[in-house]
């Protein structure tokens, strides 16, 4: 059986197609992690609640690969843009107060590609 050169090219073309990997989470899930933190982040409460810190821990565990961390970072940036009254000190202190270091800050200015 003889294989036509066009058939080989077609197989190679399919092999070279880059498919974006399926994400283990969505932006809605990322935002849901931080929703319990809004009262603290907007200055309505003096400290994050246990539910808030649970969400921060879930967020930390979501970003396993660099691509996942970048995706989660962009989701956080997008969510933060909807809340102009976030307190900078509260935002920067959140990971420390929850004893959960995040691989990226919760910030509109942070470059998630780094």
What is the CATH number for 45? Answer: 1.10.110.10
Residue 54 vs residue 111, higher pLDDT? 54
- Reported confidence tier of residue 2, pLDDT bands at 50, 70, 90: low
Nearest to 73 by CA among 65, 82, 63, 64: 63
Return the pLDDT at 56.
94
> What's the domain count of the chain?
1
80 part of a folded domain: yes
Domain of 35 in residue numbering reads as: 23-114
More reliable by pLDDT, 51 or 101: 51
Domain membership flag for residue 105: yes
The answer as to whether 18 is a domain residue is: no
94 assigned to some structural domain: yes
pLDDT reported for residue 43:
95
Query: pLDDT digits over 36-50, tens only?
Result: 999 999 999 999 999
In contact, 95 and 102? CB cutoff 8 Å: yes
For residue 85 the two structure tokens come to 């009254």
HEC readout, 42-103? CCCCCCCCHHHHHHHHHHHHHCCCHHHHHHHHHHHHHHHCCCCCCCHHHHHHHHHHCCCCCC
At residue 109, does pLDDT exceed 50? yes
112 in a domain, yes or no?
Answer: yes
Q: Is residue 6 part of a domain?
A: no
């Amino acid at each position: 059986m003889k294989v036509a050169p066009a058939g080989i090219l077609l197989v190679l073309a399919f092999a070279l197609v880059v498919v974006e990997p399926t994400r283990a989470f969505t932006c809605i899930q990322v935002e849901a992690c931080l929703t319990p933190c809004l009262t603290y982040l907007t200055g309505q409460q003096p400290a994050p609640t246990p539910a808030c810190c649970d969400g921060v821990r879930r967020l930390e565990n979501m970003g396993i690969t660099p691509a996942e961390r970048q995706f989660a970072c962009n989701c956080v940036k997008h969510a933060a843009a909807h809340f102009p009254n976030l307190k900078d000190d509260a935002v920067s202190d959140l990971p420390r107060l929850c004893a959960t270091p995040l691989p990226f800050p919760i910030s509109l200015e942070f470059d998630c590609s780094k």
